[in-house]
Amino acid sequence: MLKEAIYHQSDSTYSYPLDEKTLCIKLRTKKDDLKRVILCYGDRYEPVPRVTMFEKEMNKVFTDDLFDYYEIQISPSFNRICYYFKLEDEKETIYYAQQRFYKEPPEDRNRYFIFAYICRGDLYKAHSWWRDSIFYQIFVDRFNKEELDEAWFDEPTNKRMFGGNLRGIIDRLDYIEELGVNAIYLTPIFESPSCHKYDTIDYYDIDKSFGNKNIFKELVEKCHKRGIRVILDAVFNHTSSEFFAFKDAMKKGKKSKYFDWYFINEDGTYEMFGQSKNMPKLNTTNDEVKKYLLNIAKYWIEEFDIDGWRLDVANEIDHKFWREFREAVKSVKEDAIIIGEVWDGAESYLRGDQYDSSMNYPFMHAALEVFARGNMKLKELDAYMQNLYARYRRDIRYNLLNLIDSHDTARFLYECKNDKEKLKLAAFYMFTTIGIPMIFYGDEAGLSGANDPHCRITMDFQNIDKELFSFYKNLTRVRKEVKALKVGEYRKCYVDEDVYAFSRFVDDEEVLCIFSLSNKEKSFEIGLKGEYMDILNNKTVKVEGKLDIEPYGKMVLKIR
C-alpha cells in the first residue's frame, strides 16, 4: 500500500456538505492499489468513553493515470461528525486519521478527522436551469445587424466596428431557438471605445453602437418568452483609461478622491491588464470601488432581469471581493449564475462561496490535443478528464462551462484544418461529458478563423453550413432529452487507440456515449447484449457482446 499517495483534507473539496443532512467525503489513493475503502464515522459528542462508529464502503468514482478517487455521501442523525478511513489491500488493513496511519484506530476521537458542524450559511445551492442550459456565446459586433452591406464581410480586424448590435440579435432569435440553445452569453455591451468592449467607459449605459436600454430590455424579455436566459460580461478587473475615475486620478494625482481606485505609482505609471495601457487595473480592496461595482452587479439584474454574470479576468481579483459580489448578486436573484473566466484550475473559486461555474479552458486544451491536433491519446484523455472532475466538488462539477473555443482563441474548425468531422467529434464529447456545453457563435454554421481578430468573424446567415447546423441541433435535442447527460455521474466503459465509450448515469437512467476517431469501421467488446436505442441517430442497435461503430461514428445508447 503506497501511503504517500493517500490524501484527504477535512472541510475542503474532500469533505463538504451537500445539504443540512448530507456530507460528501472523498479520498485519494494510488491507482489500483486498494481492494476496499471503508468510511468509519460517528457522533463526535456521543457521551460514551469510545465513540460508536458506523461503517460504509466508499465507491471508486474516478481514476486517472496515477490515482483512484473514492467518494461517499452520508446522512447521519447527528451533525458533529468524526471519522477515519479503513483501508484494505491484498496484504493488510490499516486506518487513516488526521494524516496519520494506524494498525488500530485511535481511541481518542479528537485524533480522527472532524467535520465540526454542517452550517446552514455554508451550504451551496445549485439551480436546475444551470445544468439544463446550452450556452451560446455572442460577440455582439460580429453577429448580426438589421441591414447588411458588403463591408460586413470584410476581413476581421480590431481597428473598427462592423455594426453588429442588439437589434440584430433580436432579429435572429428564431435561428437561436431553432439551434436549441437556451442561454445567451453576450460579450460586453457597455459604453467603450473598442469593438470588443472590454475597456469600459460607463457601466451604467449601453454602447450606442449596440443600441440602448430599451432595446436591451426588449431583447431580454423576448428571450425569456422563448425560455432563453441572458448572461452579461462584467469587466471588474480594469476599466478604460477614459473612465471618469481614472481620468480624474491621472489629472489630480493624490488629490483625486479616485486616486486609490487604481494602483498608481509615484512616477505616474500604473498597474494594467496585461500590457494594455488603455486598461488600468482597479483596486477592488477599496471600499468605494467595491460599492460602485457591487451596485452595478445588482443594477442590471434589478432593472433588466438578466440571469447572471460572466466575470472577465476573474482570477486577478481578490477572493474577498468575489465573496461579497456573490452575496450582492444572490440578494437580488438567487438563481442568477456567476461564471468566472479562469484559464487553469478554478478550485479555489468553486467551493460554493464565490462562483457557480468557470469557463472550463482545461477541457478546451484537452479537446484541442485529442480531436484537432492528435497529440493526446484517448486513454490520456480519459485520465485527464477524470482528474479534472475529481478536483471539484460533486455539486459544482456539473456546472463547469465547457467550451472548445471562444472570442479569445482560434476557431476550433481552424485548429482542425477545416475538417468538420474533427469538429463534430469534439462537439459530441462536449455535449455528452460532465459540464454545461457552450457554442461560440458560428461554430454551428461552419465559421473558421485563427486567433483574435480572425476568430471574431462576422456571421453569414445566407451561407450557413446546413449539415453542420443540423448536427449541432441534434446534439442540443439529445442533451435536453437525457437527464443523465445533465446531472449524471461518469464512468469509463471502454477505451483503445480509436474508440472511447463512457457511461453517464443517474438512479433511473443510464446512457452509453461512444465515439470513434478512426476513418474506418471499428468493432470492439462492450459487454452488452440485446437491442438498444441509439437516441443520437434515432435507430435501434443490436449488440451481442461486440459493437460495431462506423468511421468517425458517434452514438448515445439508452441502457436503462
pLDDT tens track for 535-555: 999 999 999 889 999 999 999
How far, in Å, CA of 399 to CA of 139, rounded?
A: 22
Q: Is the pLDDT of residue 41 over 90?
A: yes
The C-alpha atoms of residue 436 and residue 401 are separated, in whole angstroms, by 5
Q: Supply the DSSP symbol for 5.
A: G
Computed on alpha carbons and rounded to an integer, the radius of gyration of the chain in Å comes to 26
Are 113 and 98 spatial neighbours (Cβ–Cβ below 8 Å)? yes
Domain boundaries, the chain: 3-122, 128-237+282-481, 238-281, 489-558
**pLDDT above 70: percentage of residues in the chain:** 100
Q: Is 312 known to be catalytic? A: yes
With a cut of 90, say whether residue 285 has pLDDT above it. Answer: yes
Q: Do domains 3-122 and 489-558 have the same CATH topology?
A: yes
Using DSSP bridges, classify how beta strands 357-360 and 401-402 pair: parallel, antiparallel or unpaired. parallel
Which member of 233, 341, 382, 510 is catalytic?
A: 341
- Distance between CA atoms of residues 221 and 306, nearest Å: 9
- pLDDT at residue 345 tops 90: no
Summarised one tens digit per residue, pLDDT across range 193-219 is: 999 999 999 999 999 999 999 999 999
Percent of residues, the chain, with pLDDT higher than 90: 98
Name the class of domain 3-122: mainly beta
The answer to whether 37 touches 58, Cβ cutoff 8 Å, is: yes
pTM of the predicted protein model: 0.95
Mean pLDDT of the chain: 96
CA gap 471, 325 in Å, rounded: 39
Say which CATH class 489-558 falls into. Answer: mainly beta
Between the alpha carbon of residue 467 and those of residues 161, 232, 301, 421, 460, the distances in Å are 31, 30, 38, 11, 15
Please answer whether residues 229 and 129 qualify as being in contact, where contact means their C-beta atoms are separated by less than 8 angstroms: yes
Q: Which of 233, 312, 324, 415 is catalytic?
A: 312
Task: Give the model confidence (pLDDT) of 297-315 as tens digits.
Answer: 999 999 999 999 999 999 9
In which band, very low, low, confident or very high, does the pLDDT at 153 lie, cut at 50, 70 and 90? Answer: very high
CATH superfamily, domain at 238-281:
Oligo-1,6-glucosidase; Domain 2 (3.90.400.10)
How many residues are present in the chain? 560
Please say if 287 is a catalytic residue.
no
Nearest one of 407, 387, 405, 406 to 397, comparing CA atoms: 387
111 pLDDT band, cuts 50/70/90, is very high
For the domain bounded by 128-237+282-481, which CATH number is listed?
Answer: 3.20.20.80
Query: Does residue 113 surpass a pLDDT of 90?
Result: yes
Residue 324 C-alpha cell reads as: 461579497
Give me the DSSP letters along 235-256. Answer: --SB--TTSHHHHHHHHHGGGS
Give yes or no for a contact between 297 and 277, defined as CB atoms under 8 angstroms apart: no
